[in-house]
Amino acid sequence: MSNNNSDKLFESFTVGGLALKNRTVMAPMTRTFSPNYIPNSDVAKYYRRRAAGNVGLIITEGTFISHKAANGYERVPAIFGEEALAGWKHVVDEVHAAGGKIVPQIWHVGSVRKEGIGPDKSVPAYSPSGLYKPGTPNGVEMSQVDIDEVVASFAQAALDAKNVGFDGVEVHGAHGYLVDQFFWEGTNQRVDGYGGSLENRTRFGVEIVQAIRAAVGNDFPIIFRFSQWKQQDYHAKLCQNPEELALFLSLLSEAGVDIFHASTRRFWLPEFEGSTLNLAGWTKKLTQKPVITVGSVGLDSDFTGEGNTDLGGASNPTGIEGLLTRLNNDEFDLVAIGRALLVDPEWVNKIRDKKEDQIAPFNKDALMKLS
Protein backbone atom coordinates (compact mmCIF):
# COMPACT_ATOMS: atom_id res chain seq x y z
CA MET A 1 0.00 0.00 0.00
CA SER A 2 2.88 2.35 0.66
CA ASN A 3 3.35 2.87 -3.11
CA ASN A 4 -0.27 3.91 -3.59
CA ASN A 5 -1.92 7.22 -2.91
CA SER A 6 -4.38 6.82 -0.05
CA ASP A 7 -5.06 10.56 0.22
CA LYS A 8 -8.49 10.30 -1.36
CA LEU A 9 -9.61 7.75 1.22
CA PHE A 10 -9.08 10.47 3.82
CA GLU A 11 -10.69 13.32 1.94
CA SER A 12 -13.92 14.77 3.28
CA PHE A 13 -17.18 13.95 1.52
CA THR A 14 -20.56 15.67 1.62
CA VAL A 15 -23.94 14.59 0.30
CA GLY A 16 -27.04 16.56 1.19
CA GLY A 17 -26.98 17.28 4.89
CA LEU A 18 -24.33 14.63 5.61
CA ALA A 19 -20.73 15.88 5.88
CA LEU A 20 -18.08 13.20 6.48
CA LYS A 21 -14.47 13.75 7.48
CA ASN A 22 -13.24 10.89 5.29
CA ARG A 23 -14.45 8.20 2.89
CA THR A 24 -14.40 5.26 5.32
CA VAL A 25 -17.61 3.57 6.47
CA MET A 26 -18.24 0.96 9.13
CA ALA A 27 -20.29 -1.70 7.39
CA PRO A 28 -23.46 -2.89 9.14
CA MET A 29 -22.83 -6.17 10.94
CA THR A 30 -25.50 -8.09 12.81
CA ARG A 31 -24.78 -8.47 16.53
CA THR A 32 -26.80 -10.11 19.28
CA PHE A 33 -25.78 -7.92 22.21
CA SER A 34 -29.02 -6.06 22.93
CA PRO A 35 -30.97 -7.82 25.70
CA ASN A 36 -34.74 -7.48 25.27
CA TYR A 37 -34.01 -5.82 21.90
CA ILE A 38 -32.77 -2.64 23.64
CA PRO A 39 -29.32 -1.17 22.78
CA ASN A 40 -27.54 -0.63 26.10
CA SER A 41 -24.43 1.18 27.29
CA ASP A 42 -22.16 -1.58 25.97
CA VAL A 43 -23.60 -1.05 22.50
CA ALA A 44 -22.93 2.67 22.85
CA LYS A 45 -19.33 2.00 23.86
CA TYR A 46 -18.87 -0.38 20.92
CA TYR A 47 -19.89 2.24 18.38
CA ARG A 48 -18.06 5.07 20.15
CA ARG A 49 -14.80 3.12 19.87
CA ARG A 50 -15.14 3.02 16.08
CA ALA A 51 -16.01 6.73 15.95
CA ALA A 52 -12.96 7.50 18.07
CA GLY A 53 -10.96 5.38 15.64
CA ASN A 54 -11.66 7.96 12.91
CA VAL A 55 -14.32 6.07 10.92
CA GLY A 56 -16.07 8.59 8.69
CA LEU A 57 -19.54 7.05 8.86
CA ILE A 58 -20.90 4.27 11.05
CA ILE A 59 -23.81 2.19 9.77
CA THR A 60 -25.31 0.24 12.64
CA GLU A 61 -26.24 -3.40 12.75
CA GLY A 62 -29.67 -4.18 11.39
CA THR A 63 -32.43 -2.70 13.55
CA PHE A 64 -35.91 -4.12 13.16
CA ILE A 65 -38.94 -1.96 12.45
CA SER A 66 -42.24 -2.15 14.33
CA HIS A 67 -44.09 -4.59 12.06
CA LYS A 68 -45.03 -7.70 14.03
CA ALA A 69 -42.92 -10.07 11.90
CA ALA A 70 -39.91 -7.82 11.27
CA ASN A 71 -37.43 -9.54 13.57
CA GLY A 72 -35.72 -12.87 12.99
CA TYR A 73 -33.03 -12.97 15.66
CA GLU A 74 -32.84 -12.76 19.43
CA ARG A 75 -30.99 -9.89 21.11
CA VAL A 76 -30.85 -7.71 18.01
CA PRO A 77 -32.02 -4.14 18.59
CA ALA A 78 -35.40 -2.67 17.77
CA ILE A 79 -35.82 0.83 16.41
CA PHE A 80 -39.21 1.55 17.89
CA GLY A 81 -40.59 1.96 21.37
CA GLU A 82 -39.55 4.35 24.10
CA GLU A 83 -36.79 2.20 25.62
CA ALA A 84 -35.12 1.25 22.36
CA LEU A 85 -35.18 4.80 21.03
CA ALA A 86 -33.74 6.11 24.29
CA GLY A 87 -30.99 3.52 23.97
CA TRP A 88 -30.25 4.65 20.43
CA LYS A 89 -30.18 8.28 21.49
CA HIS A 90 -27.43 7.38 23.94
CA VAL A 91 -25.53 5.60 21.15
CA VAL A 92 -25.89 8.61 18.85
CA ASP A 93 -24.76 11.01 21.56
CA GLU A 94 -21.67 8.92 22.29
CA VAL A 95 -20.71 8.67 18.62
CA HIS A 96 -21.18 12.39 18.10
CA ALA A 97 -19.13 13.14 21.20
CA ALA A 98 -16.29 11.14 19.65
CA GLY A 99 -16.51 13.12 16.41
CA GLY A 100 -18.34 10.53 14.35
CA LYS A 101 -21.46 10.29 12.21
CA ILE A 102 -23.93 7.41 12.45
CA VAL A 103 -26.99 6.06 10.64
CA PRO A 104 -29.13 3.07 11.55
CA GLN A 105 -29.76 0.25 9.15
CA ILE A 106 -33.49 -0.49 9.27
CA TRP A 107 -34.81 -3.84 8.15
CA HIS A 108 -37.51 -6.47 8.03
CA VAL A 109 -36.28 -10.05 7.73
CA GLY A 110 -39.30 -11.38 5.83
CA SER A 111 -39.30 -15.14 5.26
CA VAL A 112 -35.94 -15.57 6.97
CA ARG A 113 -37.92 -15.33 10.21
CA LYS A 114 -38.58 -18.42 12.31
CA GLU A 115 -41.48 -18.69 14.73
CA GLY A 116 -40.47 -18.34 18.36
CA ILE A 117 -38.30 -15.28 17.75
CA GLY A 118 -39.04 -11.69 18.69
CA PRO A 119 -41.43 -9.90 21.00
CA ASP A 120 -44.44 -11.82 19.58
CA LYS A 121 -43.14 -15.35 19.23
CA SER A 122 -46.29 -16.79 17.63
CA VAL A 123 -46.19 -14.60 14.53
CA PRO A 124 -45.24 -16.40 11.30
CA ALA A 125 -42.92 -15.04 8.64
CA TYR A 126 -44.34 -12.55 6.12
CA SER A 127 -43.00 -12.31 2.58
CA PRO A 128 -44.11 -11.56 -0.98
CA SER A 129 -45.09 -15.13 -1.80
CA GLY A 130 -44.57 -17.13 1.39
CA LEU A 131 -41.26 -18.49 0.10
CA TYR A 132 -37.89 -18.63 1.84
CA LYS A 133 -36.27 -19.53 -1.48
CA PRO A 134 -37.54 -21.10 -4.70
CA GLY A 135 -39.43 -24.25 -3.80
CA THR A 136 -39.10 -23.72 -0.04
CA PRO A 137 -42.16 -22.21 1.65
CA ASN A 138 -42.07 -20.41 4.98
CA GLY A 139 -44.77 -18.21 6.45
CA VAL A 140 -47.52 -16.33 4.68
CA GLU A 141 -47.93 -14.22 1.55
CA MET A 142 -48.41 -10.54 2.31
CA SER A 143 -51.71 -8.85 1.54
CA GLN A 144 -51.98 -5.25 0.38
CA VAL A 145 -52.79 -4.29 3.96
CA ASP A 146 -49.61 -6.03 5.13
CA ILE A 147 -47.57 -4.22 2.50
CA ASP A 148 -49.00 -0.85 3.49
CA GLU A 149 -48.30 -1.54 7.16
CA VAL A 150 -44.66 -2.45 6.48
CA VAL A 151 -44.11 0.61 4.29
CA ALA A 152 -45.53 2.79 7.06
CA SER A 153 -43.32 1.06 9.63
CA PHE A 154 -40.19 1.78 7.59
CA ALA A 155 -41.17 5.44 7.31
CA GLN A 156 -41.85 5.71 11.04
CA ALA A 157 -38.50 4.09 11.85
CA ALA A 158 -36.70 6.62 9.67
CA LEU A 159 -38.55 9.52 11.28
CA ASP A 160 -37.80 8.20 14.77
CA ALA A 161 -34.14 7.87 13.75
CA LYS A 162 -34.09 11.49 12.68
CA ASN A 163 -35.76 12.58 15.91
CA VAL A 164 -33.18 10.88 18.15
CA GLY A 165 -30.33 12.52 16.26
CA PHE A 166 -29.10 10.00 13.70
CA ASP A 167 -27.38 11.54 10.66
CA GLY A 168 -29.36 9.62 8.04
CA VAL A 169 -30.84 6.17 7.54
CA GLU A 170 -30.00 3.04 5.57
CA VAL A 171 -32.71 0.76 4.19
CA HIS A 172 -31.63 -2.89 4.08
CA GLY A 173 -32.71 -4.03 0.63
CA ALA A 174 -30.12 -6.79 0.26
CA HIS A 175 -29.09 -10.34 1.15
CA GLY A 176 -32.46 -12.07 0.80
CA TYR A 177 -34.37 -10.20 3.51
CA LEU A 178 -37.87 -8.84 2.93
CA VAL A 179 -37.23 -5.92 0.57
CA ASP A 180 -34.85 -8.09 -1.45
CA GLN A 181 -37.40 -10.93 -1.47
CA PHE A 182 -39.68 -8.62 -3.44
CA PHE A 183 -36.85 -7.78 -5.84
CA TRP A 184 -35.83 -11.41 -6.40
CA GLU A 185 -37.95 -13.33 -8.87
CA GLY A 186 -37.09 -16.54 -7.04
CA THR A 187 -39.07 -15.45 -3.96
CA ASN A 188 -41.55 -13.09 -5.61
CA GLN A 189 -44.16 -15.07 -7.51
CA ARG A 190 -46.93 -12.50 -7.10
CA VAL A 191 -49.36 -11.80 -9.93
CA ASP A 192 -50.39 -8.31 -8.80
CA GLY A 193 -48.59 -4.99 -9.27
CA TYR A 194 -45.71 -6.09 -7.01
CA GLY A 195 -44.75 -9.14 -9.07
CA GLY A 196 -43.78 -10.18 -12.56
CA SER A 197 -41.61 -7.58 -14.29
CA LEU A 198 -38.46 -6.16 -12.74
CA GLU A 199 -40.21 -2.80 -12.51
CA ASN A 200 -43.11 -4.33 -10.59
CA ARG A 201 -40.79 -6.25 -8.28
CA THR A 202 -38.96 -3.02 -7.46
CA ARG A 203 -42.21 -1.27 -6.54
CA PHE A 204 -42.17 -2.28 -2.86
CA GLY A 205 -38.68 -0.82 -2.35
CA VAL A 206 -39.68 2.31 -4.25
CA GLU A 207 -42.72 2.81 -2.02
CA ILE A 208 -40.57 2.43 1.10
CA VAL A 209 -38.10 5.06 -0.11
CA GLN A 210 -40.89 7.42 -1.13
CA ALA A 211 -42.60 7.04 2.25
CA ILE A 212 -39.34 7.68 4.10
CA ARG A 213 -38.61 10.75 2.03
CA ALA A 214 -42.08 12.12 2.72
CA ALA A 215 -41.58 11.51 6.45
CA VAL A 216 -38.05 12.90 6.93
CA GLY A 217 -37.88 15.72 4.36
CA ASN A 218 -35.30 16.45 1.70
CA ASP A 219 -32.18 17.01 3.82
CA PHE A 220 -32.07 13.69 5.70
CA PRO A 221 -29.92 11.26 3.67
CA ILE A 222 -31.37 7.92 2.60
CA ILE A 223 -28.86 5.15 1.91
CA PHE A 224 -30.12 2.05 0.13
CA ARG A 225 -28.23 -1.24 0.42
CA PHE A 226 -28.78 -3.81 -2.29
CA SER A 227 -27.06 -6.94 -3.53
CA GLN A 228 -27.16 -9.43 -6.34
CA TRP A 229 -26.39 -12.38 -4.03
CA LYS A 230 -28.74 -13.76 -1.38
CA GLN A 231 -28.05 -15.70 1.77
CA GLN A 232 -30.38 -18.30 0.25
CA ASP A 233 -28.31 -18.41 -2.97
CA TYR A 234 -24.85 -16.86 -3.26
CA HIS A 235 -25.03 -17.05 -7.05
CA ALA A 236 -28.41 -15.35 -7.51
CA LYS A 237 -28.67 -12.20 -9.61
CA LEU A 238 -31.39 -9.58 -9.63
CA CYS A 239 -30.04 -8.04 -12.80
CA GLN A 240 -28.41 -10.10 -15.51
CA ASN A 241 -26.89 -7.19 -17.44
CA PRO A 242 -26.21 -3.44 -17.17
CA GLU A 243 -29.51 -2.59 -18.85
CA GLU A 244 -31.53 -4.35 -16.15
CA LEU A 245 -29.38 -2.82 -13.43
CA ALA A 246 -29.94 0.64 -14.93
CA LEU A 247 -33.71 0.18 -14.78
CA PHE A 248 -33.64 -1.16 -11.23
CA LEU A 249 -31.43 1.64 -9.93
CA SER A 250 -33.23 4.42 -11.79
CA LEU A 251 -36.51 3.55 -10.08
CA LEU A 252 -34.95 3.72 -6.63
CA SER A 253 -32.92 6.81 -7.44
CA GLU A 254 -35.99 8.70 -8.62
CA ALA A 255 -37.84 7.62 -5.48
CA GLY A 256 -35.34 9.52 -3.33
CA VAL A 257 -32.21 7.44 -2.65
CA ASP A 258 -29.20 9.66 -1.94
CA ILE A 259 -26.47 7.01 -1.62
CA PHE A 260 -26.37 3.43 -2.89
CA HIS A 261 -24.58 0.76 -0.88
CA ALA A 262 -23.64 -1.96 -3.36
CA SER A 263 -23.04 -5.12 -1.36
CA THR A 264 -20.68 -7.72 -2.78
CA ARG A 265 -18.78 -10.51 -1.09
CA ARG A 266 -15.49 -9.57 -2.79
CA PHE A 267 -15.09 -5.96 -3.93
CA TRP A 268 -12.46 -6.80 -6.57
CA LEU A 269 -14.67 -9.05 -8.72
CA PRO A 270 -16.16 -7.58 -11.92
CA GLU A 271 -19.95 -7.55 -12.03
CA PHE A 272 -20.52 -8.10 -15.75
CA GLU A 273 -18.41 -9.54 -18.55
CA GLY A 274 -16.49 -7.05 -20.64
CA SER A 275 -15.73 -4.59 -17.84
CA THR A 276 -13.58 -4.52 -14.71
CA LEU A 277 -16.18 -2.45 -12.83
CA ASN A 278 -17.56 -4.04 -9.69
CA LEU A 279 -21.20 -3.61 -8.64
CA ALA A 280 -20.45 -0.27 -6.99
CA GLY A 281 -18.63 0.93 -10.09
CA TRP A 282 -21.56 0.07 -12.32
CA THR A 283 -23.95 1.70 -9.86
CA LYS A 284 -22.11 5.00 -9.94
CA LYS A 285 -21.72 4.89 -13.71
CA LEU A 286 -25.44 4.30 -14.20
CA THR A 287 -26.86 6.65 -11.54
CA GLN A 288 -24.19 9.31 -10.94
CA LYS A 289 -25.22 9.06 -7.29
CA PRO A 290 -22.69 8.56 -4.48
CA VAL A 291 -21.93 4.86 -3.94
CA ILE A 292 -20.42 2.77 -1.14
CA THR A 293 -18.40 -0.29 -2.08
CA VAL A 294 -17.98 -3.23 0.32
CA GLY A 295 -16.79 -6.82 0.32
CA SER A 296 -13.83 -8.32 2.22
CA VAL A 297 -11.95 -5.01 2.45
CA GLY A 298 -8.77 -5.50 4.46
CA LEU A 299 -9.07 -9.29 4.61
CA ASP A 300 -6.75 -11.86 3.09
CA SER A 301 -9.42 -14.53 2.71
CA ASP A 302 -13.17 -15.00 2.78
CA PHE A 303 -14.67 -15.93 6.12
CA THR A 304 -18.19 -16.60 4.88
CA GLY A 305 -19.01 -18.92 2.05
CA GLU A 306 -20.85 -21.95 0.87
CA GLY A 307 -20.87 -24.83 3.29
CA ASN A 308 -18.69 -24.95 6.39
CA THR A 309 -16.05 -22.26 5.98
CA ASP A 310 -12.93 -22.19 8.09
CA LEU A 311 -12.62 -18.91 9.99
CA GLY A 312 -8.87 -18.87 9.53
CA GLY A 313 -6.74 -16.16 8.02
CA ALA A 314 -5.90 -12.71 9.27
CA SER A 315 -7.10 -9.17 8.87
CA ASN A 316 -4.59 -7.16 6.89
CA PRO A 317 -4.53 -4.63 4.05
CA THR A 318 -4.06 -7.27 1.33
CA GLY A 319 -5.81 -5.98 -1.75
CA ILE A 320 -6.01 -2.40 -0.51
CA GLU A 321 -3.87 -1.26 -3.46
CA GLY A 322 -6.57 -2.32 -5.90
CA LEU A 323 -9.20 -0.68 -3.76
CA LEU A 324 -7.35 2.61 -3.73
CA THR A 325 -6.84 2.48 -7.49
CA ARG A 326 -10.57 2.08 -8.01
CA LEU A 327 -11.35 4.87 -5.53
CA ASN A 328 -8.84 7.20 -7.19
CA ASN A 329 -10.47 6.39 -10.54
CA ASP A 330 -13.81 7.59 -9.11
CA GLU A 331 -15.44 4.19 -9.56
CA PHE A 332 -17.13 4.74 -6.18
CA ASP A 333 -17.07 7.33 -3.41
CA LEU A 334 -17.01 5.56 -0.04
CA VAL A 335 -15.48 2.33 1.27
CA ALA A 336 -17.20 0.14 3.86
CA ILE A 337 -15.01 -1.97 6.12
CA GLY A 338 -16.62 -4.85 7.98
CA ARG A 339 -14.82 -7.63 9.82
CA ALA A 340 -11.40 -5.96 9.70
CA LEU A 341 -12.82 -2.95 11.55
CA LEU A 342 -14.86 -5.18 13.82
CA VAL A 343 -11.77 -6.68 15.36
CA ASP A 344 -9.59 -3.55 15.23
CA PRO A 345 -11.35 -0.23 15.96
CA GLU A 346 -8.13 1.57 14.97
CA TRP A 347 -7.99 0.05 11.47
CA VAL A 348 -8.63 3.39 9.75
CA ASN A 349 -5.93 5.23 11.67
CA LYS A 350 -3.41 2.45 11.09
CA ILE A 351 -4.03 2.51 7.36
CA ARG A 352 -3.73 6.30 7.34
CA ASP A 353 -0.50 6.23 9.33
CA LYS A 354 1.07 3.40 7.27
CA LYS A 355 1.05 1.10 10.32
CA GLU A 356 -0.43 -1.92 8.58
CA ASP A 357 1.83 -4.26 10.49
CA GLN A 358 0.06 -3.23 13.71
CA ILE A 359 -3.45 -4.14 12.51
CA ALA A 360 -5.02 -6.76 14.77
CA PRO A 361 -5.62 -10.09 13.02
CA PHE A 362 -9.10 -11.41 12.41
CA ASN A 363 -9.12 -15.09 13.36
CA LYS A 364 -10.92 -17.55 15.58
CA ASP A 365 -9.37 -16.16 18.75
CA ALA A 366 -10.40 -12.64 17.79
CA LEU A 367 -14.01 -13.73 17.48
CA MET A 368 -14.07 -14.42 21.21
CA LYS A 369 -12.99 -10.87 22.06
CA LEU A 370 -15.16 -8.69 19.86
CA SER A 371 -16.36 -5.54 21.62
Q: What is the pLDDT of residues 60-89, one digit of tens each?
A: 999 999 999 999 888 899 999 999 999 999
Residue 2's pLDDT is 44
Strand duo 13-15 + 18-20: pairing: antiparallel
Question: What pLDDT is recorded for position 303?
Answer: 43
What are the φ/ψ torsions at residue 259 (nearest 5 degrees)?
-135, 135
Dist. CA 259–CA 88, nearest whole Å: 22
DSSP state at residue 37: G
| Dist. CA 60–CA 43, nearest whole Å | 10
Q: Where are the alpha helices (DSSP H) in the chain?
A: 41-52, 82-97, 144-163, 178-183, 198-216, 242-255, 279-287, 320-328, 339-343, 347-352, 364-367
Top-confidence residue, 23 or 314: 23
- Considering only the top CATH level, what class is 7-367? alpha beta
pLDDT category at 362 given cuts 50, 70, 90 is low
Give the per-residue pLDDT at 304: 43
- The percent of residues in the chain predicted with pLDDT above 70, rounded, is 90
Give the mean pLDDT of the chain: 89
Is residue 218 within a helix (H) or strand (E), and if so which, with residue range? none
In this predicted structure, the answer to whether residue 305 has a pLDDT above a threshold of 50 is no
- 194 catalytic, yes or no? no
184: buried, middle or exposed (CB in 10 Å: 19+, 13-18, 0-12)?
A: buried
Say which of 47, 177, 194, 234 is annotated catalytic: 177
3-state secondary structure of 231: coil
Dist CA 331 CA 206 (whole Å): 25
State the pairing for strand pair 131-133/102-107.
Answer: unpaired
267: confidence class by pLDDT, cuts 50, 70, 90: confident
